[in-house]
Structures are given as structure tokens and as C-alpha cells.
Amino acid sequence: MAASRYDGLEVATLGVPDGAGGQVDVRYLRRRFLPRTDPAASPLAYHRVRRDDRLDLISQTYLGDPTVFWMVADANPVLAPDDLTAPDAEDSVLVIPLPGH
């Protein structure tokens, strides 16, 4: 199983008002920056989006694990993973990254 996309991120704390005149500490993960992809690296595959495709099923098919859908999302130029399989994405081509890239 692949590591979580949040594995290794720094946990930060921010003090915020609690509404009763006090303060409460809120813990959060620092922003995750994606590394630049190596233009010389070849993807594992390309997938043409079909009607009713689901990102978790695409991930299962190519990467053997439906929970690593985020790797496919990170390898493609979208902000929201659902955009990759939205109705208007039909016939677009997804990059399927090599595991760990």
C-alpha cells in the first residue's frame, strides 16, 4: 500500500479565539507542495476517460489500489480530482503515473 499523501508533512498549531474569551489551539497540516514532474520520466499508462469512469476504479485497474486515486489526480492538471471523470471530461486522456512518482 502506498504512503499517504500527507505522510511526512509538518503539523502546525494556530491559536484561535474560542468564542468565550479564551483561546483554543487548532492543529493542522502544513501545505503540501507537489514536486515538479521529471519530463524524462515515462508514465505507467494513459487512460481515455469513458462515461461512468470513476477515479477509484481507474486507480485500482492500473495501480492495484483504489485508495491511491490521489496519485492519478496529482499527475494530471486539475485542482479537483472529480474533474478528471466529470461528464465533460469524457474522451480526455489521463496520465497514470508510475507508483511512487
Which residue range is the domain that position 46 belongs to?
Answer: 42-101
Total of domains in the chain: 1
Residue 24 CA to residue 44 CA, distance in Å, equals 46
pLDDT > 90 in the chain, percent: 60
Residue 37 CA to residue 92 CA, distance in Å, equals 20
Cα radius of gyration (the chain): 18
**Residue 23 falls within a domain, yes or no?**
no
**Residue 25 falls within a domain, yes or no?**
no
**Residue 70 falls within a domain, yes or no?**
yes
Express each pLDDT in 59-88 by its tens digit.
999 999 999 999 999 899 888 999 999 999
**Residue 53 falls within a domain, yes or no?**
yes
* pLDDT, position 1: 46
Using CB atoms within 10 Å of the CB of residue 27, give its burial: 0 to 12 exposed, 13 to 18 middle, 19+ buried. exposed
Using CB atoms within 10 Å of the CB of residue 14, give its burial: 0 to 12 exposed, 13 to 18 middle, 19+ buried. exposed
